[in-house]
Structure 1
Amino acid sequence: MTLKPWREIAEPHSDVREGKFQQAEFAADLSRVHAGTATGEYQNPVLFFQRTFITEGMRLLLDSVVKRLAGKGGDPVIQLQTAFGGGKTHTMLAVYHLAKGAAPASELQGVPPILDAAGVTELPKARIAVLDGVDLLSLASKPRVHDGCTVRTLWGELAWQLGGETSYEHVKEADLTGTAPGKKELADLLAASAPCVILMDELVRYVSQFEEGKTLSGGTYDTQLSFVQALTEALKAVPTAVLLASLPFSDREAGSQQGVKALRALEHYFGRVQALWKPVATEEAFEIVRRRLFTNINDKLAMESVCRAFADYYIANREDFPQETQDSKYFERLVHAYPIHPEVFDRLYEDWSTLDNFQRTRGVLKLMAKVIHRLWKDGNNDPLIMPGSVPLMDADTRNEAIYYLPQGWDPVIERDVDGERSETWEIENKDTRFGSVQACRRTARAIFLGSAPHSVQIASNQLVRGLELERVLLGVAQPGQQVNLYKDALRRLSDRLHYLNHANNRFWLDTRPNLRREMEERKRRFQDKEDVFPTIRERVQRSFASGVFGGIHIFTGSGDIPDDWALRLVVLPPDAAFSKSGQSLAVERATEILKKRGDQPRFKQNRLIFVAADYDSVSRLKDHVRSYLAWRSIVGDYKDNRIVLDNLMAKQAQASLEQAEETVRRMIRETYKWLLAPVQEARPGKGLSEVMWEHFPLNPGAQNWSQEIERVLKENELLISEWAPIHLAKVLKDWFWKDDVKDVPALTVWQQSCQQLYLPRLKDDTVFQNTMAAGAESREFFGFAQGKEDGRYIGFSYSKRTSLIMDSSLLLIEPLTAAAYMEALRASEEASRAKTAEAGTGASTTTVPAGGGETPRVEDSAKGGYQAGGATAGQIVKKQFYGSIDLDPILAKKQFADLVDEVVQQFTLRPDVKVKIAIEIQAESPSGFDDGLQRVVKENCNVLKFKNAEFEIGE
């Protein structure tokens, strides 16, 4: 759903829209109105009430004044005491226009209901006296002349304003002598002038100029206080007279020490008879500002639609926004504040109003008038005016904001917050994801609005520093937008901005450069080869476990990568990155390593797999590594007392270091994302193709990097960890059993698979041996022999389980050849047994050669026949064999393997031959065997199921 922009629903007043307003117009000046010289919106009672929102406090006060002037009760003295800019003078103006009666009450917006509630049909016109302490400052030492009548004191001025010379006669003697009139004289004066209203503004300023012990023509300090006391008492005696007096809210507003003293005294006297006055609530301030800045709401349904969309958006993303936004009342706040977001008011009224010279309502009006004028001029189409909308690139808006702040904020805004030369603009120009919604500028503006006043309070330890993340998001995010986009923008700003600080999930701008500037300066010290690449290498090394690889070589030269049978992973350096879009240095570097080991040719090419960095990510990775190195050096210098940081900055530096380290870890995984594998094609009649490089992306989010690489290799059949015998048989048929060659050494096949890029790449020789063992019992794949002499296979085995020792003598035999050889061998055995049986019964005179016959040759078996020898009649048949041998304990493993191949298998390959092997081990030590050795040997003997295994004392 598309939300209507605020400019189509709420139209600013013409002076705001056209930028013709004057700063002074926002300052309600009671004296100028009384003199008839104020601007129309303040001078004209009808216009004044049109642009005035009658707050609850003002309604109660006007109700009391109306009743008082009509003689129906009401309070005689009302003291207005609110914070600077809290609406005191504006309230007095409302009383002034209401009491003066220059316009009928029926034409004053919001007034008729007040009269009705008070039971007053027609309010009588009242005489009005305006005693503005600032306007009357000179009266203390210099008399004023009104139409020939000279007045010297505050009470003289009061009398003259209420009734001219006639009223002046009541206090003439007191005015001439500078002494305070008594309660009776003042009561008579008020009674003669009733109904009447006295408006006292800035009274503290006037009284504070009278120093104790010093007499001026306007009286003394004590006479001023005596006058106030007598006046408040006299008002109680006149039922149709009322006094409104405004006093400063705080000592700071009172000014000097004498001003504070005067404030305390006046509070005492007014406090004895004052009525309570409810100050302006924040929600009421919404309407005050809206009434003054905007004409009206043109489309209330559209307004409610916008506010509802914002309220629903906050509820849908409840984890990201302040708790208050989850309350149904927040929708009402949005409606009351429209078209300005409530967060703008909260920041101005809660934060900016704490500044010495920022008046609550007047200051908000002045700032927002400039904001609205610029947004209107620029055609801003946001649905609401938010903290992120404040156009600080506009000179008028920026100057209005920094006017209330200490020196030094202009460069902060210009560099870090807003403007064509700011970092935020640069980031958005390079990243359209941010630029499309001005995510960086809006975020920086919101942080400025919410944190700039804090820098003043922090100096006096009055406030927690910074704006919470949830409030930053509240000031920028709009319905239909992803909240995470602004979180990403905030992370980017934290990395780039010089004046932005953050700690404990709070963010603030300050006029003092943050540690980032120091970090940026240090980043320039670090060079690629000397600093950055070694750091990346160290981090990559941490990420790997060995897994399937016999060796992992990170940024290693070709001369230091062994040319052996182990599977090896080669991680190329960042300056040899891979790009899918064109020729890359990764392929060139990998090709060099593949072809040569140093200056020598490399043979085992099919044992190398490569990992390369992504070309488009390398520069970012190097930048993040430099940031990490810079933060590490700052933290190191702080710990070694080479630099001085306060506690907060030290924590920030440590947190930034940890964040930078995590960013480097993540960026390394995102950057080293390409797996490169060399392959070749063998084309019939055309030989081998050139080396081709297959590339596959790695998942940067995988838990285990080594396992992820292994997964990609296996899924794309670049690495085989389990191999079916049929595939081995096909490789043998295609590449090794050619022409008249019907057998091939198994070791040759394994070694060729390690060397030739067109052959399958096996994980290790165990995979190869397991494949041979799995195919041993089948007639479909291959036969075995442990050697070949004079055309005969030694240790021949086919279609049955057998133990295999893969050495240079183990042969893989083509299955048809193996079948024919086995058939010939069987026929030879049968003939041999027949002749042996015949010789045993004496029925034959044929002689049999020693050894029981002749084994068929491979060539003969291939022809399907064999050559038989004769037997000698009467020869004794030998049925048992016994042999013993001493083995060298160092070479025993190899000697025993030879013994099995050359002797034992001669018996096991023949049917009906039972073979028994016993091993006897004797060991002697002149010094004896220690307990540890005895324990290990006994345990191992038990596992191996020795019949006897004992240690003896010996002779």
Structure 2
Amino acid sequence: MTIKNWWENCLLREELDGKTPSQEEFVADIWKVRLGDALPVYQQQDIFFDRTYASPDLKKLVRFVLRRLSNLTGGKTIIRTQIAYGGGKSHAMLTVFHLCTLKPELFQNSTVKTFLEFSKIERPRKTKIAILPFDKFDVHEGLEVYGPNNEKKKVMTPWGALAFQLGGKNLFQRIIKHEKSGISPAQPIMEEILSYPHKNNESTLIIIDEASIYGRSLYMVGKFGPFKDFFQYLTQAASALENTVIVATLLHTGMERADAVGKRVLTELTQIFDRMGPETIEPIKHADVAEILRRRLFRKIPSEDERKQIVNRVIASWELIPNLSQIDREKYLEDRVYKSYPFHPDFIDVLYGRWIELPKFQRTRGALQLLSIILNDGRNRDQNVLIGPSCLLGPEDKEYSQGLSTLVDWTDDGATWSGILQHELELAKRLESQKLNIKNKEIEQLVVSTFLYSQPEGRKGQLNDILRLLIHPDLQEISSLRISIDEWKSKSWYFDDTLGEQELALIKKKNVVSIHDSIINSMTEEQLKEVVSLMEEYIGKNDWVPTHKKQFVKVHCLTRGPESIDDTPGIHLGILEPKPIQIINQKHVPDEISKLFNTTTLSGKARTFKNGLLVVVPDITHLPKLKEKCSSVVAWEILKKSADYKKLAKEQQSKITNMIKQEKKQILGMVRITYSTVFLFMPNEMIENRLLKHRMNLTHYEQIVEILRQEDRILEDLRSDKLLPNGGLMLWDKDAISLPIQFLINVFYRFPRLPFPESLNLIYQSILSLIEQGKIVLKITRPDNSVITYWKEKIESKLLNKETAELIQIKGAELNSINDDIILPNTTNTIWTPPIKDINFSHLLSKFDGILIPKLQSTKILEEKLVEMVKNKKLCLIIEDEAYCGDFSIKNQKIENSIITLPPPSVKINEVIQDAYDNNIWENNTAKVLDLVKFISERRKSPIPLSYLIEPLTNAMKSNKIELEPKTTPWPPKSNVDISSYRFNLVMKMKTEIIIDTQPKGESTTSEEVKSHKGEKIEPKDISEEEEKEIEETIPSPKLIVDLTPSIAELDGLNELIEEIKNEGDFTWNLGIKLSLVKEDIDEKLLDKLNQILELYWPEHKFKRD
């Protein structure tokens, strides 16, 4: 909901609307009313009571007077009014005067009824009124007064004025001697004077106004004694009479600050009144001011409900103020904002709480005049919902308003304060012009509010108090306002810089900021050089490039010409020196920028690598601000080194130190903002500029990359095929077979038709992918002119950085080295296609045809690779039915006649000993290596390399199964030693082999079952006694077999059993387990489930029904 401004909700009184009233128009002059010469607002009773607020103390005053005049209880005879807070004493006297002279038609007036009802009387008693206006009484000329029949007479004494007003000529004649002698009548005669109206059944009311001012004049001419006597006799006489009241104001406005004479007069008169025990009344108190002002100034305000809605919005906006307690919220909501509307409560408080102390401030009449002025000033212009300091701001064409000018005149030194406010308001307007979030002249209001709180001189305001004056319901956040306040404080010449963080005040003496600014305005040539040096220092300190990119991007700080930037491949970020560059639009290129892109020297040598060049330049509008900030830092440092520094207060010294630190931090941020335009070389080979967005979390380079990315100019994704001759990037010359990698990289930095190479890694990865996929060959020439090639293999990217690295097309490449994976079958990069078991050498060689697979530099390359892979047991070569795989050299063999295959499975010790023994290879317990190789090769139906027997024979020797003959022969053999003729003997005492076969009890294990367990097929046959004897002689050691049927629990002891047997000798173990499961109702489903479990451990076995 939008809240209307105060002037849209409230209508001014007709007599004030559009006018600039004088202060006299707000003076309730009772003597003028008596003479019938006052303004209608005071003269006409209906208008007067419509604008009168029946405050609690004013009602008490009226009750005291009216009830005493009617001789009723609760009345008071002598009443003295005070003006300690808000004034209003003249208005109070005039209220009593009008009520005692009330016209019959006014008895129904609401305000009049309020007074009468509170006084508990129906009508005031008929009363004779005598007024002693001592501010009109001249010591030498006297005063012209009116008698009961409106006759005139000039009198020279207060008692003469009193007598003539109450009884005309007759009563005046009674004291004629006293009039002429200047001696006051004593109490008896004074009683006659006061009681004279009583003869006509009338009461007597004496109104005394500002007695002290007349008493002071009498004192100065030596006539104060009779005046004192007059008051003594008057108060005593009134106290002795009924139906008689004296309402007196002794103090003249400003008398409390008068000289010693004035103070003495006031003291002595006060003592006279105090002897009679008067009732002291302060007609206006703090709580009454807003209502008095509201009634006097406005003829219409919103209803209670409307006011409550407005107030609630105002209070809600104050939630933005930090540390505002709940007590504060309730206090302002209930007691202040609502009751003071449409005035801001703090605005009224500062006027009546502080400005009232100024001699020229005329309390209520002064406030009314001021407010009437500022209400007319602010109407149709002020944007606030409450009347406050914003109404003191002048229109755009004026320095400040008439209201503010009035306030300045009321200060102790108007001329000085006028100059101070002029300076500070100009500063505020400059700051506001730079702030997008400051839309309601908040900084100007800040200046005015601080000025209000700074009076009288030496006073100060609290930040939260001033914030309440500035915050309004349309303000969404307070941070911008707080920043603006701090900025104003840091730039103000008259802000009191000795105060704490939460205090604000203006002073007449210039602060350290003014000294600082004076230094700036009078800098020497050397000091100006310091400013430039500081600016360049912080330009150099800025992080132009993120840390992880610094190795790829070369920064050229403070670029002053073409020679400042290298013309080399790579990304070059030029940072122009801090001088203004005028840029008209995106395509406008200043001459100095054009030279940077097109030349490398002052002589005009053409630049080659333009696509990798980026030039950042300062903004012409922000550069002066950067220079200004650097000037500020230098000025603070000069001040800190000066002799004046020691004369400053500690708070000011601390501020200087803090400002140096704070502004140095700000310089870096300003450098980022100042350098806000980048020039680029575009695909159309034109230079253009782009504006950076000042994202503080990104470096300038990262912001530039974002711009290039948005324009699709960044090399984000590069398919490796794009780098090939027909890839579309036009990197290769028409008939070129090779392309140097450095040239390929350089092309991206030269030609803007190519994407900007923000990351070389993409290019490198694409090259590596081409090499690994076998689409291109990498060739590197070593310093000794030897060459190494890479094809279909993973290599490190650092190889691409070799100066001689170049890419060779398949059709023009010759490999001088081969990757193992190319030769090995069943690998990703294999050239064995389609998959076959083996391949002969000539067939493999023919695949290097220079079409899909590069040619070899020579056949020797393949031969050497095969020898290497055979040596490393990666391949096996079969030449004339002999296999080679391992350490044996095959260099002397005719490899071109070989068949290439994968290495066969290794030979197990049982194949060499037990299986060969069973097949009679160990004739007379002796066997040659060659015979063993032939046996295993025939059995496997594939040649086995001699080298394959070294490991199982070595293991057999270590376990004492065999021994080499002769024993002196070295074993294991050295490389390249032919072991085919080596002979081994079986050891006579063969180790016993134990087979433990778990069987159900009652069943035995036959030798056939044992052999079947070993996987041999046994044909039953009859053995003669000779054969049996021969077998016994041949088999060195018997086999021991035990029949065990352990329970599941007993299986845990199997390990212990084996360990115990091991202690009895070095046995060869062969353990077989036969698992028999017995259970009723084993259905097919359960059988399948058990077989699934068994398969997890022994996939080749299955349970079968017995």
What's the TM-score, normalizing by structure 2? 0.63
Q: Aligned partner of 2:790: which letter? A: S
Displacement after TM superposition at 1:585 (Å): 4.3
Displacement after TM superposition at 1:62 (Å): 0.8
Structure-1 separation of matches of 2:508 and 2:11: 36
Counterpart of 1:404 in structure 2 is 410
Structure-2 separation of matches of 1:778 and 1:578: 53
Structure-2 separation of matches of 1:402 and 1:826: 96
Deviations 1:700-730 (A, max 9, x none): 3216556656676778776769977555557
Q: CA 1:323 to 1:446, structure 2 compared with 1: closer, same or farther past 3 Å?
A: farther
Are residue 292 (structure 1) and residue 296 (structure 2) matched? yes
Q: CA 1:646 to 1:717, structure 2 compared with 1: closer, same or farther past 3 Å?
A: same
Q: What pairs up with 1:313-328 in 2 under 5 angstroms?
A: 313-315=316-318, 317-319=320-322, 326-327=329-330
Counterpart of 1:613 in structure 2 is 618
Structure-1 separation of matches of 2:568 and 2:901: 42
Are residue 205 (structure 1) and residue 213 (structure 2) matched? yes
Equivalent pair of 1:83/1:360 in contact (CA under 8 Å): no
Q: CA 1:577 to 1:391, structure 2 compared with 1: closer, same or farther past 3 Å?
A: closer
Are residue 625 (structure 1) and residue 624 (structure 2) matched? no
Q: What pairs up with 1:259-338 in 2 under 5 angstroms?
A: 259-272=262-275, 273-297=277-301, 300=303, 303-304=306-307, 307-308=310-311, 310-311=313-314, 313-315=316-318, 317-319=320-322, 326-327=329-330, 329-330=332-333, 333-338=336-341
Displacement after TM superposition at 1:581 (Å): 2.3
Counterpart of 1:536 in structure 2 is 535
Counterpart of 2:444 in structure 1 is 444
Structure-2 separation of matches of 1:774 and 1:249: 102
Are residue 27 (structure 1) and residue 27 (structure 2) matched? yes
Structure-2 separation of matches of 1:610 and 1:742: 37
Q: What pairs up with 1:285-684 in 2 under 5 angstroms?
A: 285-297=289-301, 300=303, 303-304=306-307, 307-308=310-311, 310-311=313-314, 313-315=316-318, 317-319=320-322, 326-327=329-330, 329-330=332-333, 333-375=336-378, 383-390=385-392, 392=394, 393=398, 396-397=402-403, 399-405=405-411, 406-408=413-415, 412=419, 415-416=422-423, 439-440=440-441, 443-444=443-444, 447-448=447-448, 450-452=450-452, 454=454, 456-458=456-458, 463-464=459-460, 468=463, 471=466, 474-475=469-470, 477=472, 479=474, 504=501, 523=520, 534-544=533-543, 547-550=548-551, 551-557=554-560, 558-565=562-569, 567-575=571-579, 577=581, 579=583, 581-585=585-589, 589=593, 592-593=596-597, 595-599=599-603, 600-614=605-619, 618-630=620-632, 632-641=634-643, 660-680=663-683
What's the TM-score, normalizing by structure 1? 0.72
Equivalent pair of 1:40/1:47 in contact (CA under 8 Å): yes
The alignment-based identity, stated in percent, is: 18
Equivalent pair of 1:152/1:175 in contact (CA under 8 Å): yes
Counterpart of 1:810 in structure 2 is 805
Displacement after TM superposition at 1:79 (Å): 1.6
3-state DSSP of counterpart to 1:800: coil
Deviations 1:669-728 (A, max 9, x none): 223233444354xxxxxxxx5255574635432165566566767787767699775555
Q: Aligned partner of 2:206: which letter? A: I
Deviations 1:214-233 (A, max 9, x none): 853xxx43x44344344334
Q: Unaligned 5+ residue runs, structure 1?
A: 681-688, 831-851, 871-876, 882-909, 914-955
Equivalent pair of 2:640/2:656 in contact (CA under 8 Å): no
3-state DSSP of counterpart to 1:37: coil
Counterpart of 2:788 in structure 1 is 795
Structure-2 separation of matches of 1:357 and 1:340: 22
Q: CA 1:578 to 1:258, structure 2 compared with 1: closer, same or farther past 3 Å?
A: closer
Q: Give the paired residue count.
A: 824
Equivalent pair of 1:448/1:509 in contact (CA under 8 Å): no
Displacement after TM superposition at 1:353 (Å): 1.8
Counterpart of 1:777 in structure 2 is 772
3-state DSSP of counterpart to 2:28: coil
Q: Aligned partner of 2:55: which letter? A: T
Structure-2 separation of matches of 1:703 and 1:191: 94
Q: CA 1:598 to 1:427, structure 2 compared with 1: closer, same or farther past 3 Å?
A: same
Displacement after TM superposition at 1:370 (Å): 2.2
- Which deviates further from its counterpart, 820-829 or 716-725? 820-829
Are residue 162 (structure 1) and residue 161 (structure 2) matched? no
Q: What pairs up with 1:555-954 in 2 under 5 angstroms?
A: 555-557=558-560, 558-565=562-569, 567-575=571-579, 577=581, 579=583, 581-585=585-589, 589=593, 592-593=596-597, 595-599=599-603, 600-614=605-619, 618-630=620-632, 632-641=634-643, 660-680=663-683, 690-693=685-688, 695=690, 697-702=692-697, 725=720, 728-729=723-724, 734-735=729-730, 738-759=733-754, 762=757, 772-773=767-768, 776-779=771-774, 781-787=775-781, 794-802=787-795, 805-806=799-800, 807-815=802-810
Q: CA 1:230 to 1:771, structure 2 compared with 1: closer, same or farther past 3 Å?
A: same
Deviations 1:142-199 (A, max 9, x none): 9999889996643443344333455557766766665555555544543444521222
3-state DSSP of counterpart to 2:136: coil
Structure-1 separation of matches of 2:153 and 2:819: 152
Q: CA 1:261 to 1:640, structure 2 compared with 1: closer, same or farther past 3 Å?
A: same
Q: Aligned partner of 2:540: which letter? A: Q
Displacement after TM superposition at 1:294 (Å): 2.3
3-state DSSP of counterpart to 1:245: strand
Q: Aligned partner of 2:410: which letter? A: Y
Deviations 1:550-586 (A, max 9, x none): 4321222332333445543211234464858244446
- Which deviates further from its counterpart, 109-118 or 584-593? 584-593
Are residue 14 (structure 1) and residue 14 (structure 2) matched? yes
Q: CA 1:280 to 1:450, structure 2 compared with 1: closer, same or farther past 3 Å?
A: farther
Q: What pairs up with 1:80-91 in 2 under 5 angstroms?
A: 80-83=81-84, 86-91=87-92
Q: CA 1:654 to 1:45, structure 2 compared with 1: closer, same or farther past 3 Å?
A: farther
Q: Unaligned 5+ residue runs, structure 2?
A: 826-841, 861-866, 872-899, 904-1106
- Residue among 225, 242, 247 paired with 2:245: 242
Q: CA 1:589 to 1:451, structure 2 compared with 1: closer, same or farther past 3 Å?
A: same
Equivalent pair of 2:721/2:727 in contact (CA under 8 Å): no
Structure-1 separation of matches of 2:309 and 2:171: 59
Equivalent pair of 2:377/2:391 in contact (CA under 8 Å): no
3-state DSSP of counterpart to 2:16: helix
Equivalent pair of 1:572/1:613 in contact (CA under 8 Å): yes
Counterpart of 2:60 in structure 1 is 60
Displacement after TM superposition at 1:346 (Å): 2.6
3-state DSSP of counterpart to 2:643: coil
CA RMSD of aligned residues (A): 5.1
Q: Aligned partner of 1:82: which letter? A: I
Q: Aligned partner of 2:419: which letter? A: V
